[in-house]
């Protein structure tokens, strides 16, 4: 990544914050040589699928487009390359470096919120759906005509006795997944977020201050004045 918006360090911090969330409930191994668990491999795949689109788009956008006759073609090639990995919203075409849309894309991204959202969607997708099995019908006799069913005799209504137990439907047990607990915000992370906001504000102010207005003033040169001669006074004759 180029140093245009200091996104190399920012992406590393986003990776660390996302790893903390994806590996929060993964049990530790006995030793370094132990085989990785299935949950660890699954979470690492989810982490890569989560971070690759964002980092790819960020890396390509750190190469700013220089205004000129070839700018439109370069914007088109840049967006086509981004769309190979990233399908989310992008700054408008032609946004200049350090402009509000570019700063919002880089510094307004909440990686922790998006990581929790991915884990919640994965938990909902993996939740088993229980369906009732169909009741099999009795087989029909082969090679014989169907006999008419005898007419059942009318059943005499009986009075309902009190304290008769009423059959209850069977209880179907469903699996539930506990929601992912969000850890408390670390003071250092809160401080980093405040510093990022202040940095974005300083960049906006700096962009305004760097607009230089050049004006020209016609200056007429003045010839230098000739100093007076020291012997302009005629010496007088002195008589003894």
Question: For position 178, what pLDDT does the model report?
Answer: 56
Q: What share of the chain is helix, strand, coil (3-state, %, to 5)?
A: 40, 0, 60
**34-87, pLDDT tens digit by residue?**
899 999 999 999 999 999 999 999 999 988 888 889 989 999 999 999 999 999
**146-180, pLDDT tens digit by residue?**
555 555 555 555 555 555 555 565 555 555 555 55
- Measured N-to-C along each axis, helices 38-61 and 111-126 cross at an angle, to the nearest 10 degrees, of 140
pTM of the entire predicted model: 0.51
The pLDDT mean for the chain works out to: 77
Question: For position 54, what pLDDT does the model report?
Answer: 95
CA 121 to chain centre: 15
- Domain-by-domain residue ranges, the chain? 7-28+36-126+193-208
């Amino acid at each position: 990544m180029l140093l245009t918006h200091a996104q190399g360090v920012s992406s590393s911090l986003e990776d660390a914050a996302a790893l903390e969330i994806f590996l929060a409930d993964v049990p530790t191994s006995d030793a370094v040589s132990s085989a990785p668990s299935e949950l660890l491999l699954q979470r690492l795949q989810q982490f890569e699928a989560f971070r690759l689109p964002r980092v790819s788009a960020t890396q390509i956008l750190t190469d700013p487009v220089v205004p000129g006759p070839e700018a439109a073609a370069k914007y088109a090639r840049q967006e086509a390359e981004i769309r190979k990995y990233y399908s989310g919203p992008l700054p408008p075409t032609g946004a200049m470096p350090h402009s509000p849309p570019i700063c919002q894309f880089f510094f307004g991204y909440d990686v922790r919120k998006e990581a929790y959202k991915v884990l919640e969607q994965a938990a909902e997708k993996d939740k088993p759906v229980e369906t009732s099995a169909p009741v099999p019908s009795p087989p029909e006799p082969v090679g014989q005509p169907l006999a008419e069913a005898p007419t059942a005799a009318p059943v005499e209504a009986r009075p309902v006795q009190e304290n008769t137990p009423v059959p209850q439907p069977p209880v179907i047990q469903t699996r539930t997944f506990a929601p992912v607990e969000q850890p408390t915000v670390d003071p250092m992370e809160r401080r980093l977020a405040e510093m990022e906001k202040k940095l974005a504000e300083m960049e906006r102010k700096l962009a305004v201050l760097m607009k230089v207005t050049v004006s020209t003033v016609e200056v007429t040169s003045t010839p230098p004045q000739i100093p007076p001669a020291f012997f302009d006074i005629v010496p007088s004759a002195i008589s003894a």
